[in-house]
């Protein structure tokens, strides 16, 4: 059996949904679990609804109506009959969002975010499942929250593997006895109290990897709007080329540093069971794409570039001029962990410690407040972090020409620089 993942761009409109159906029709003889993201920019739209709800700015209903129209237009373009059940199911999701936004926001941003944003995937999969059935491609719709169990770390939930593994195995194995095609959601799970959780932005890749791991899939395929994994984002680097094969090691390094083609947590569940991952194009599905697996090296072996904007660089020093040694470092890491802020790059001297992170508007203010109580703190905003895997010295010089370098470090295979555009 295989696990397919289709992201938001691959289901952004009625034409895209038809294309997904066309791709799946070529695998009609195989058992496939299909993990699907929210349609187009639905997650962004739901995030705006969450912000409007918490800010009480009176725009929730307008934003909901816009999102409802977007999904209804797709349903109409797919030529669903007027009385088809998909319309009622779609409306039920909007009713649940409305109920959530009518309650006082007493449980904080992260909890509210997960209860509302999860509906993007639920709506997308209901539409696609019904459309496939309409076209004679019989399938079973599975609510992933019934099988993917997490802790209560909202927006960055941790998977409870002990509960999840047997649930996925038992449920999916049973469903495959009825049908070879299962449609489910990425990005979301549920707590033991049955509250919805999310796995982090772009977490649908991770969901697909969880299913692949639990079911011992022969292959996982991520369908993208690019020909495969590229050596750089073409938006930032004109000479990007497609990588034909990528080692697990290089893949996990690139995703850790911020490569957006796949979610950072995707590789580990696959590598642990030696399950190959293929990144393929839904525009040209006949092409091979990029294969990620147990290879000794990446081919072609060229510099790979990752560009991360909206970075913030912290410089911390002790208030009593003591060394930034094990005790202080332990305290610093603990504070970052408590605020769920991932460190993208770090560097220390005798009395200072510098850290580069994403400038998350929800997390950073609280982090700054707590760090300032224990350390002297300076920071710079609106920076860019450039990471180059398999770098040449000349590539670094070319990328940083005319830029102010605030922090730099190089290892055998990877170079990182934090720059300010002057």
Q: What is the pLDDT of residue 72?
A: 97
User: How far is C-alpha 128 from the geometric centre of its chain's CA atoms?
Assistant: 21
> What is the chain's alpha carbon radius of gyration, rounded to the nearest angstrom?
23
Exposed / middle / buried, residue 234 (Cβ in 10 Å: 0-12, 13-18, 19+): exposed
How far is residue 272's CA from residue 15's CA, in Å, rounded to a whole number?
A: 37
Burial per residue of 98-133, b for 16 or more beta-carbon CB atoms within 10 angstroms, e otherwise:
eebbeeeeeeeebbbbbbbbbbbbbbbbbbbbbbbb
Residue 367 sits at φ, ψ, to 5 deg, of -65, -45
Is the peptide bond preceding residue 300 cis, with omega within 30 degrees of 0?
yes
DSSP E strands: which ranges in 108-267?
A: 140-141, 181-185, 188-190, 196-198, 219-224, 245-247
Q: What is the pLDDT of residue 395?
A: 82
Element (H, E) at 5: strand 2-6
8 A C-beta contact, residue 238 and residue 21: no
Q: What tens-digit pLDDT sequence spans the chain (422 residues)?
A: 999 999 999 999 999 999 999 999 999 999 999 999 999 999 999 999 999 999 989 999 999 999 999 999 999 999 999 999 999 999 999 999 999 998 888 888 999 999 999 999 999 999 999 999 999 999 999 999 999 999 999 999 999 999 999 999 999 999 999 999 999 999 999 999 999 999 988 889 999 999 999 999 999 999 998 899 988 887 887 788 899 999 999 998 888 887 777 888 899 999 999 999 999 999 999 999 999 999 988 899 888 889 999 999 999 988 777 777 777 788 899 999 999 899 999 998 888 889 999 999 889 999 999 999 988 999 999 999 999 999 888 888 888 888 899 999 999 889 999 998 76
Q: What is the pLDDT of residue 78?
A: 97
3-state helix, strand, coil in the chain (%, to 5): 40, 25, 35
8 A C-beta contact, residue 325 and residue 332: no
Q: What is the pLDDT of residue 271?
A: 95
Q: Under the phi-then-psi rule, with left for phi > 0, alpha for psi from -120 to 50, and beta for the rest, what region is 348?
A: beta
Q: What is the pLDDT of residue 188?
A: 97
- Which residue from 413, 417, 418 is spatially nearest to 253, judged by alpha carbons? 413
How far is residue 318's CA from residue 354's CA, in Å, rounded to a whole number?
A: 12
Instruction: Report all structural domains of the chain as residue ranges with CATH numbers, in order of start.
Output: 2-217 (3.40.1160.10), 304-420 (3.30.2130.10)
Angle between the 119-134 and 108-117 helix axes, to the nearest 10 degrees? 10
């Amino acid at each position: 059996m295989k696990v397919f993942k289709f992201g938001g761009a691959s289901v952004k409109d009625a034409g895209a949904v038809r294309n997904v159906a066309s791709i799946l029709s070529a695998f009609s003889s195989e058992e496939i679990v299909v993990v699907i993201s929210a349609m187009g920019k639905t997650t962004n739209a739901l995030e705006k609804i969450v912000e409007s709800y918490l800010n009480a700015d009176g725009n929730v209903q307008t934003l909901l109506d816009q999102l409802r129209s977007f999904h209804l237009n797709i349903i109409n373009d797919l030529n669903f009959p007027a009385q088809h059940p998909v319309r009622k199911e779609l409306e039920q999701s909007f009713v649940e969002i409305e109920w959530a936004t009518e309650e006082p926001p007493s449980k904080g941003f992260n909890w509210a975010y997960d209860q509302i944003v999860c509906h993007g995937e639920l709506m997308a999969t209901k539409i696609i499942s019904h459309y496939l059935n309409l076209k004679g491609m019989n399938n079973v719709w599975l609510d992933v929250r019934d099988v993917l169990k997490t802790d209560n770390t909202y927006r960055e939930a941790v998977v409870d593997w002990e509960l999840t593994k047997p649930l996925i195995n038992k449920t999916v194995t049973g469903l495959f006895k009825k049908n070879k095609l299962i449609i489910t959601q990425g990005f979301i799970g549920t707590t033991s109290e049955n509250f919805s959780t999310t796995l982090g932005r772009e977490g649908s890749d991770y969901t697909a990897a969880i299913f692949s791991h639990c079911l011992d899939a022969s292959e996982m395929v991520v369908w993208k709007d690019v020909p495969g994994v590229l050596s750089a984002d073409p938006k930032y680097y004109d000479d990007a080329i497609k990588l034909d094969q990528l080692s697990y090691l290089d893949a996990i390094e690139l995703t850790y540093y911020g490569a957006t083609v796949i979610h950072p947590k995707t590789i580990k569940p696959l590598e642990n069971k030696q399950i190959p991952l293929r990144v393929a194009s839904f525009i040209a599905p006949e092409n091979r794409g990029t294969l990620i697996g147990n290879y000794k090296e990446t081919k072609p072996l060229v510099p790979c570039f990752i560009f991360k904007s909206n970075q913030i660089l912290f410089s911390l020093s002790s208030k009593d001029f003591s060394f930034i040694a094990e005790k202080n470092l332990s305290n610093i890491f603990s504070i970052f962990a408590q605020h769920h802020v991932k460190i993208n790059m770090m560097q220390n001297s005798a009395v200072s410690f510098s850290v580069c992170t994403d400038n998350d508007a929800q997390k950073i203010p609280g982090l700054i407040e707590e760090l300032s109580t224990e350390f002297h703190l300076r920071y710079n905003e609106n920076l860019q972090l450039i990471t180059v895997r398999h770098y040449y010295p000349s590539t670094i010089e070319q990328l940083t020409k005319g830029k102010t370098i605030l922090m730099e470090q190089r290892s055998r295979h990877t170079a990182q620089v934090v720059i300010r555009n002057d």
